[in-house]
Structure 1
Amino acid sequence: MPPEGPHTITLHAKGWDAAIAFRNGDQSLFQKLKSIYPRFTPFGLAKELSMAIHQKLGLPPSHGLLPFVHPDAFSMAQQYSFSHHRKPEIKLVPADLLFKVVDIAGIRLYCNPGTGVSTRLAEHLLKQVDTLAVVPFDAAGDGDVAVEKVPAPTYLPETAAHQGLRERVVGLLNRAPVAPQKVGVQTDDVYFYPTGMAAIYRTHEALMKVRRGPVVALGAVFHNTYHLFLEAPDGFKHFGQCEARSGVMDKLETYLKTETESGRKVSYVFAEFPSNPILVSIDLKRLRQLADQYGFIVVIDDTIGSFCNIDVLPAADIVLTSATKSFSGYADVMGGGVILNPSFSSYAAIKKIFQETFRNEYFAGDAAQLLANSADYLPRSTILNRNAAALASLFHTHASFILPLSDTAANYAAFMRPATDEVVPGHGCLLSVEFTTKAVAKAFYDNLEVHQGPHLGAHLTLAMNFNEMVWGKDEEEFKYHIGYGLRGEQIRVSAGLEEVADLVEVFEDALKFAEEEMRKKA
């Protein structure tokens, strides 16, 4: 710490204990940060814009107002703050919230507690903050805001970069398809959002209008995604254990049959392919068969496999991808993509909702940066594939204290794209290493000389004691996720673009410390 630049979305916090301190909100670490993923808390330019708005409004910084470009920021803040899912000690009442609307340089912002805007949009607005004008509106006076009284939004203008991104995604999706007959995505089937989580949230919101019913998730899913699903209006069913030997697809079929007989229909099934961080790949062919039989929608997040390596269109009604990761590749811009698949009968209903509800929230500066970054996506991906595979091979030689692989590799292979001159498909940049004890994992991690922090798909190799950091704060919840494989003894590694020999040498050095820790216990 601090990171490389004003828009960097990761950090380097050296050592196991530093990650735990970060998880627990250690202010001595947070005070050193310049920028990071906005889901944690605003830093750098985003914080500067927030402070400037407070000053212009004559409010103390303690009010915690942050700007959004979408008017539903108000209703979302209310739902989140007053939700029965919140623990009593942090549940708010309407009087705890403050809402303001301001215009800066022709862009309308809705200000309330939350995660705010991107750093590039903040940078753009800071240069013109003297144009800030308060937009009056009638709030209830007790922190409650009626949706119909919120001033109309301006949203954000689209540019050639937005269209360029859509064209690039379509070209990549249609390159070397697994099932050519399923190729049909057009540029107007691609929607970009400010973050991957925003894409997941907006898709969830849309599908609740298309087909009501419980949401089902298969395997490990990201922390924020899991908690979003917990609050699904018609319920949530999670099948965590998805190894081939678990019989999860038979269990899913039994659940679908039971729900159907009880008069309830599943809205959609969500899965990461493969899952982060334990890299389990569900049986997509069987899932598609069940979807056709029971009529639910299949939503696949292909971020980890990445669509240069895999083609999930033969199975998915909707493909989600975090463009923040290897598509961008340089850890300096965020974005999330939603791809609607015209090959399935659900398309017309889903498309209608997106056409009615989509409004651009993705800033032109972020779109331009993502378009520039992704120009070398294919050659970079070949290197990421190679480096991750080399590290996996290294760990296989130390199987005496590293636990074995998932048994779902065949499911992944079934959706790998054929090799072309442009890229040799592989398994992506990510691997997860599970040691026999936490002490051995810590000895390895504390002596691993790569950047240590959140994120994956970057130009630099990143490592992180991911499960301890993301899930470890809530012991009871962590126990549940440990039950299907998210263990504290795991280290997640995202291979970068370094020379493969240098990278292997760095990991070999760290493994020596793990071996020494093993000898102590022998």
Structure 2
Amino acid sequence: MTVKKITTEFGHTLPPVGPHNITVHGAGWDVGLALRDGDMSLLQKMKSIYPRFTPFGAARQLSMAIHQKLSFPPTHGCLPFVNPDIFSMAQEFAFSHHRKEHKLEPSDLLFKVVDISGVRLYCIGYPMPKTPGIIGVWQNPGTGVSSRLAEHLLKQADTLVEVPASASADAEITLDKLPAPTYLPESAAHQGLRDRIAGLMNRAPVASHKANVKSEDVYLYPTGMAAVHRLHQAIMQTRRGTVVGLGAIFHNTYHLFLEFPDGFKHFGQCNAQSGIIGEVEAHIKAEAEAGRKVSYVFVEFPSNPILVSVDLKGLRQLADKHGFLLVVDDTVGSFCNIDLLPVADVVLTSLTKSFSGYANVMGGSVVLNPSSPSYPTLSKVFQSTFHNEFFSGDAEQLLANSTDYLTRSTILNRNAAALASLLQSHIRSPAPSAVTQVLYPSHSDTHANYTALMRPATAEFTPGYGCLLSIDFADSAVAREFYDKLQVHQGPHLGAHLTLALNFNDIVWGKPEDEAKYHAGYGLRAAQVRVSVGLEEEAELVEVFEEALKFAEEAVGKN
């Protein structure tokens, strides 16, 4: 079999091409770094982009239509949202000391409200040269207008009217001063998704659940980051305090947590030798002595991109002892493979990933565990504060995509396990190996923590370890040689129908140097490649990786 070359052009989405695709292909290690550093010559060539990075496609066209109607200055951009709380969030974000040299002044922001065919949008105008100081309110909370919602509204752009508002950038904005929101109507697809997720949470439990998840325990959001953001807001109404993050955490989540006013404490090293349970308890006691408390502990299970499985049973015991909530993001492990109801108070998921599987829609969910001691209080808060921001067209696409979720997950589990086995065999080889470590749940010293929560096999599905693995190489030169020769699509995202690789750490954590050094200290090394397997034939993938490994091992011999 001859390895096929990837023919997708730079800046284009994974095939098949569609107006709402969320991937972008940019082959080559240095290409990723140039995009990270804002190379405009490359950015201008991009035909697709991850929607939470910036308004793109229909979302950008909608922003331009609003911009023109509201007579924003030509030097300004426009960010539209469904929830009015974005105005106060924008102030807090843009004027924060965290913006450093990108900090905005009150006079820089314009706040406007518009109606389009019964949908009310809250729009932020900002000077384009100062984009780095405000774009985070689109990227981190993840509540911006989706491309499908934008497409729907653009068809009715002739109904766009400005709604008088008393919002002022130089005064604190409160919701009672703004026109009331319409939010978005729900559809049958919303209920279908809640039913499906509840069913997946209850199927094949590792032990009998005290209470099964009901569809009303499932809350849907336009993105995974929106789920993180809204969950944090809800928890702060029930138990205010610091947030503790464990292990590798998705970079937008990490940076969102860094700016929480009540504080954020991160423990990076969470392997079997770390003593993380003792460290967390010592921190809780120190906080209590200082008159503070921990609100919740947040952990990805397993973590992206180093696939560490934290001791969730030990954390559950701590949570029961000290009263904090345990929030677990199961995006990488996924509903079908792991049962988190015995340990988590809340399960959070980016539905954009393997649950969707086709990289053409975004979504997120929060599932409240009815067996949790925090359930009565937290459920009451959600029932009184939740407002739908998830467009029906996105819900319909996500429901359709997830119909074959278990079938696809079987293939994803198989392909990732096959690649992990191949890579591990290279480490065992007597010749000098390009690969120094395979980062994958079954090859981790935290494997037992994963298997303790792994669902039992059933007639319809045998669980595995998900779609993600990462590869540590001898050094950056060897990693580059492998990556630049690897014939798979290269770009952000995981859980898609086609395999994606990315020099994730060098792009996400490569700057600033002090941050890069900190994260490398617990495993986020620059000489590492993250791989999200797709639905290709196993033999085809193995051959593609074997071919790239040949070049990497030749590079080892040259060093």
Residues 165-184 of structure 1: pairs in structure 2 closer than 5 A: 165-184=193-212
C-alpha separation in 2, matches of 1:266 and 1:66: 34
C-alpha distance in 1 between matches for 2:149 and 2:203: 33
| Structure 1 residues 452-499: Cα deviation after superposition (integer angstroms, max 9, x where no partner) | 000000000000000011111322111111111100011000000000
Aligned counterpart for 1:98 among listed residues 105, 110, 115: 110
Alpha-carbon distance, 1:513 to partner? 0.7
Q: Distance in 1 between matches of 2:299 and 2:30?
A: 31
Of 47, 55, 61, the residue aligned with 1:34 is 47
Q: Is the partner of 1:208 in helix, strand or coil?
A: helix
Is the contact made by 1:96 and 1:143 (CA closer than 8 Å) also made in structure 2?
no
- 251-260 or 391-400: bigger deviation: 251-260
Match status 1:207 vs 2:219: no
Aligned to 1:331: 359
- SS state at 2:370 partner: coil
State the alpha-carbon separation in 1 of the partners of residues 444 and 379 from structure 2.
36
Q: Which shifted more, 288-297 or 230-239? A: 230-239
After the TM superposition, which residues 355-394 of structure 1 pair with which residues of structure 2 at under 5 Å, given as runs? 355-394=383-422
Give me the whole-angstrom Cα distance separating, in 2, the residues matched to 1:189 and 1:209.
Answer: 18
Structure 1 position 220 matched with structure 2 position 258: no
Check conservation: 2:434, 2:549, Cα contact below 8 A: no
User: Hey, what's the Cα distance between the residues in 2 that align with 1:353 and 1:182?
Assistant: 22
Match of 2:434 in 1: 401
Aligned to 1:64: 77
Whole-Å separation in 2 of the counterparts to 1:124 and 1:140 = 29
Residues 108, 11 of structure 1: alpha-carbon distance in 2 compared, 3 angstrom cutoff: same
Deviations 1:113-172 (A, max 9, x none): 553310000100111101101101123364764432111000000000000000000111
Q: Comparing 348-357 with 430-439, which one deviates more in the overlay? A: 348-357
Counterpart secondary structure, 1:216: strand
3-state SS in 1 of match to 2:62: helix
Residues 1:2 and 2:30 are matched in the alignment: no
C-alpha distance in structure 1 between counterparts of 2:531 and 2:285, whole Å: 39
Cα distance in structure 2, aligned partners of 1:342 and 1:176: 17
Is residue 23 of structure 1 aligned with residue 36 of structure 2?
A: yes
Distance 2:370 2:205 in 1: 15
Q: Which amino acid aligns with 2:118?
A: G
2:455 aligned partner: 417
User: CA separation in 1, counterparts of 2:248 and 2:325?
Assistant: 19
Q: For 1:230 and 1:357, locate their aligned partners in 2 and report how far apart those are by CA, in whole Å.
A: 24
Q: State the 1:349 CA deviation.
A: 1.1
Within 1, Cα distance between the matches of 2:161 and 2:291? 53
Distance (Å, rounded) in 2 between the aligned partners of 1:461 and 1:181: 35
Q: Which moved more, 1:125-134 or 1:257-266?
A: 257-266
2:489 maps to 1:451: yes
Mapped contact 1:65–1:98 kept (Cα < 8 A): no
Local SS of the residue matching 2:347: strand
Contact kept? 2:209, 2:341, Cα under 8 Å? no
| 350-359 vs 60-69, which moves further | 60-69
2: distance between equivalents of 1:263 and 1:406? 38
Aligned residue for 2:399, secondary structure, equals: helix
Deviation at 1:327, TM superposition (A): 0.1
Q: Is the 8 A contact 1:259 1:266 kept in 2?
A: yes
Tell me how far apart the structure 2 counterparts of residues 141 and 176 of structure 1 sit (CA, whole Å).
Answer: 52
Q: For this pair of structures, how many residues does the alignment match?
A: 520
Cα deviation code 1:3-34 (max 9, x no counterpart): 12211111110100111111111112222223
Deviations 1:101-123 (A, max 9, x none): 00001100000155331000010
8 Å contact kept, 1:284–1:411: yes
Q: 1:430-472 deviations in whole A, cap 9, x for unaligned? A: 0010001000000000000100000000000000000011111
In structure 1, give the amino acid aligned to 2:50.
Y
Give 1:285 deviation, angstroms: 0.7
Letter in 2 for 1:272: E
Structure 1 contact 33–43 (Cα < 8 Å) conserved: no
Matching residue of 1:188: 216
Contact 1:174 1:183 in 2 (8 A): no
> 1:461 corresponds to which residue?
499
Deviations 1:236-258 (A, max 9, x none): 11110000111111111222223
The residue number in structure 1 matching 2:189 is 161
One-letter identity of the residue aligned with 1:26: D
2:121 partner SS: strand
> Percent of aligned positions with the same letter in both sequences?
69
Q: Secondary structure at the match of 1:99?
A: strand
Q: Which position in structure 1 is the counterpart of 2:92?
A: 79
Deviation at 1:37, TM superposition (A): 1.9
Larger CA deviation: 242-251 vs 449-458: 242-251
Matched with 2:430 is none
The letter of the residue matching 1:426 is G
SS in 1 for 2:435: coil
Supply the distance in 2 between the matched residues of 1:394 and 1:143 (Cα, whole angstroms): 60
> What amino acid maps onto 1:445 in structure 2?
Y
Change (3 A) 1:183 1:417: farther
Q: Deviations over 1:265-315 (max 9, x none)?
A: 210000000000000000011110010011110000000000100011100
**Cα pair 1:102 1:110 within 8 Å, conserved:** yes
SS of the residue aligned with 2:294? Answer: coil
**Which residue is equivalent to 1:501?**
539
Give a deviation string over 1:42-80, Cα, whole Å, max 9, x none. Answer: 111111111111112223453211211101111111111
Structure 2: distance between partners of 1:21 and 1:5:
26
- Consecutive unaligned residues of structure 2, counting only runs of 5 or more, are 1-10, 126-136, 139-143, 428-432, 438-442
**Cα contact 2:111–2:169 (8 A) shared by 1:** no
CA offset digits 1:314-372 (Å, max 9, x no partner): 00000000000000000000000000001021111111111111000000000000000
SS of the residue 1:257 aligns to: helix
Are residues 1:429 and 2:457 paired? Answer: no
Mapped to 2, the partners of 1:175 and 1:131 lie a distance apart of: 46
Map Cα deviations across residues 166-205 of structure 1 (whole Å, 9 max, x no partner). Answer: 0000111111011223442111110000000000011111
Match of 1:241 in 2: 269
**1:120 corresponds to 2:130:** no
**1: distance between equivalents of 2:472 and 2:367?**
33
1:386-417 deviations in Å (ceiling 9; x for gaps): 00000001101111332234310110111000
**Counterparts of 1:248 and 1:374 in 2: how far apart (Å)?**
36
Q: Is the Cα–Cα contact under 8 Å of residues 177 and 183 in structure 1 kept in the other structure?
A: no
Partner of 1:346: 374
Give unmatched runs, 5+ long, in structure 1: none
Q: Quick check: 1:296 aligned with 2:296?
A: no
Which residue number in structure 1 is paired with residue 440 of structure 2? none
2:160 equivalent to 1:147: no
Q: Kindly state the Cα deviation for residue 39 of structure 1 after the two structures are TM-superposed.
A: 2.7
**How far off is 1:2 after superposition?**
1.6
Which amino acid is the alignment partner of residue 154 of structure 1? T
- 2:337 aligned residue: 309
1:249 counterpart letter in structure 2: I
Q: What RMSD over aligned residues (CA atoms) do the two structures have, in Å? A: 1.3
TM-score (norm 2): 0.91
Which structure 2 residues correspond to residues 272-291 of structure 1 after superposition, within 5 A? 272-291=300-319
Q: Is the 8 A contact 1:101 1:135 kept in 2?
A: yes
Query: Which of 122, 133, 138 lines up with 1:110 in the alignment?
Result: 122
Whichever residue aligns with residue 451 of structure 1, its letter is: H
**CA distance in 2 between partners of 1:470 and 1:384 (Å):** 24
SS in 2 for 1:108: strand
